[in-house]
DNA sequence: TAAATCCCTATTGACTCTATAGAGTATATC
DNA sequence: GATATACTCTATAGAGTCAATAGGGATTTA
């Protein structure tokens, strides 16, 4: 039920990137320091985010990470799906990774499924509407005060 | 993120009880058979549900389990909170088990928290509105066809 | 060619989840 | 009141997951 540490780290790191306005690549070490994330763990996380197109990287000297697309197109749902898998409380109500329950007679009748489906939709509609851009903007606003 | 097996078992077992209209106590063994849950595991689950007042038990011969209150007063949220803990994606947005994040500077500013709070509210409002009575009614209706 | 930086895989320790086991306690019935 | 029945409680084991660390490989710039 609870968000993994990995997800929290990913969100913090990406918000740091979003605040940079995507000029030059930012080194892992810098992101790690600003987001307060263990450096080697962050490496793994960024690698996964890269595979899913959420960030892109530049290798070698002067290298680092940048967002893979505009911050306002990256939602919390996108990020959490990478680190923690589907948002659904059961694979049988997942939109991105549907899987039938092993011991389910008839899915169309299952009263549990019906509820979990409604819960998934509610969660998804929140997490899909919140973007990195909004989160970064909020931080900047708080800093300005 | 995903519901534990324990939660699924608890929901199935309680829906079985809700269908019985709460006449006489139902033995663990019978509940286990009807809900398709390992018997000894179910014992533990029912014990926890009992501690939280969701079921009540009668010991000795003719003993068994019954719902602890009317089926329409037992919500999915109540049950899941027993088996899986708080609904919130982070302790810092939990209503039933609030806890500050260790590495959080200022909670009122945290842009992640804001989103997780909205997600929690969305999930809770669904799970708190769905009752065992509704689930049992739905099952009976499907069986009638 | 050297330094900087990301890339990739393996490993470890702690913890949790699922399930089973077995002895203990209460109660109805004969 | 003896006995069978059924819930109560605690321990434990195996598998799996999570968080973190480690270290060498590959690539690019200067």
Question: Does the distance separating the beta carbons of B109 and A2 come in below 8 Å?
Answer: no
pTM summary value: 0.94
Q: Please report residues of A whose CB lies closer than 8 A to that of B76.
A: 115
Tens of pLDDT along chain B (145 residues) come to: 899 999 999 999 999 999 997 779 999 999 999 999 999 999 999 999 999 999 999 999 999 999 999 999 999 999 999 999 999 999 999 999 999 988 887 889 999 999 999 999 999 999 999 999 999 999 999 888 7
H/E stretch holding A28: helix A28-35
Q: How many Cβ pairs closer than 8 A exist between chain A and B?
A: 99
Residues pairing with B66 in the sheet: B56
* Chain B contact for A28 (CB, 8 A cutoff): no
* Both structure tokens of B124: 């809770």
pLDDT value of position B133? 98
State which nucleotides on strand D lie below 7 Å from a protein beta carbon. Answer: 4-11, 18-23, 26-30
* Chain A contact for B123 (CB, 8 A cutoff): yes
Q: What angle do CA A120, A123, A124 make, to 5 degrees?
A: 80
Residues pairing with A67 in the sheet: A55
In this complex, the nucleotide whose C1' atom is nearest to the CA atom of residue B30 is D6
H/E stretch holding B66: strand B64-67
| Integer Cα distance of A111 and B31 in angstroms | 17
In this complex, the nucleotide whose C1' atom is nearest to the CA atom of residue A40 is D21
| Integer Cα distance of B50 and A4 in angstroms | 30
H/E stretch holding B67: strand B64-67
Nearest to B115 by CA among B96, B90, B98: B90
């Amino acid at each position: 039920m609870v968000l993994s540490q990995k997800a929290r780290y990913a969100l913090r790191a990406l918000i740091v990137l979003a605040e940079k306005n995507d000029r030059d690549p930012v080194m892992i070490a810098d992101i790690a320091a600003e987001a307060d994330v263990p450096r080697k763990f962050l490496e793994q996380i960024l690698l996964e985010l890269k595979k899913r197109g959420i960030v892109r990287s530049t290798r070698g000297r002067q290298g680092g990470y940048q967002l893979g697309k505009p911050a306002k197109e990256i939602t919390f749902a996108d990020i959490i799906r990478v680190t923690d898998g589907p948002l659904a409380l059961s694979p049988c109500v997942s939109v991105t990774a549907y899987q039938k329950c092993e011991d389910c007679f008839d899915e169309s009748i299952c009263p549990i499924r019906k509820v979990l489906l409604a819960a998934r939709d509610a969660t998804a509609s929140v997490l899909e509407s919140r973007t990195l851009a909004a989160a970064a903007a909020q931080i900047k606003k708080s800093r300005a005060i």
